[in-house]
Structure 1
Amino acid sequence: VITLFKKLGIKEYSYYQLNRCYRTTIEIINYANQIFKEKFPKKYKLPKAVLRHGEDIQFIKHSKIIENIEEEKILDLVNIINTEFKKGSVTCALICRDKKQADSAFNRLNKYKDSIERDIVDYSQQDYKTGLLILPIENAKGLEFDTVLILDINKNTYPDDDLSLRLLYVAITRALHRLIIIENRNKSPLLI
């Protein structure tokens, strides 16, 4: 924006850096800041959560990615999702790295739609209001959910590069109240 002002010949302007986060809990924003503080541009201030505390971040370990996970582990995931709805979540998102992974997760979980206490919605539907939305990170930007589950975090899906770091930041900061990180296989170097 500042570059545009200069090109347009606008000489007087004010620059304010907004760093207050009203969306998410202090625990979630502090966790995000721990991951990103070393790589966050030094000229920017890290966001600060205000107003409210919440639950600690929950970590779940699976040995396989969603495509290959055992049915028993899928049922565990269904139980976790149902628990979140029982805690009061109206909106719950299962955020995946890309569309292929989101499609795979939707296909695996949709078999259990009668066991999940709310509708399961995939990212292609335009009228999502409540239930479990399964979507890639690229579709999550700008949205917020009571509970966010981030699926299949490992060194292959989230290697130590800038794109993965930015995508993970978007996924983490979509959570309003609760964040559940599902890790598998080799730990991503981005997680702490």
Structure 2
Amino acid sequence: MSANHEQLPHLAAESTSIAVWEWGVLAAGVGLFLFLLIFAFGVIGKIGKSLDKTNKLLDDVDHRVGPMLDNTNKTITLVNANLSQTESELAKVGGMTDNVVQVTNNVTNMTSMITSALASPLIKAASFAFGLRKTMKQRDDDYQEAQIRAALSAAEEARRDHKRRSRKDKKQK
């Protein structure tokens, strides 16, 4: 222990005498510490102001978004209600479309029945009228041809008679 006591006074003596440059380093360290402390408080203060502005902005957004979300919720509710009504109306339109298809099919069937019922007599009547017209035309053509042949025969006969008379007259002279 005596050895330790001997060393302690030596340390005590050295610690009491601090050199000037050590005081300068100590002062520079304390100054740097204070500068960094003031700088840190300044940065913390700016961060605090930024956080305050952010809080105010978020409060403003909250006050504005809340009513907008309420309006959006109401709008979506109304749209859903309108979609339900639209679906029921579309179901009614689908029923009407089915009815129109049935009516169209019925009209088509009736048209087919009427056409088949009337088509046979109409076709027969049209065929008869065509045949009658063709026969009448042929008859007129035959009649005209007979008249033309008769006229040609009469003209030929008259020419022959004229020739005979002229020969007789020549012989008599």
- TM-score range relative to shorter protein: under 0.3
Q: Which has the larger radius of gyration?
A: 2
Report which of the two has the higher share of strand. Answer: 1
Taking structure 2 as the reference length, the TM-score comes to 0.12
- Larger relative contact order (Cα-Cα within 8 Å, sequence gap ≥ 6): 1
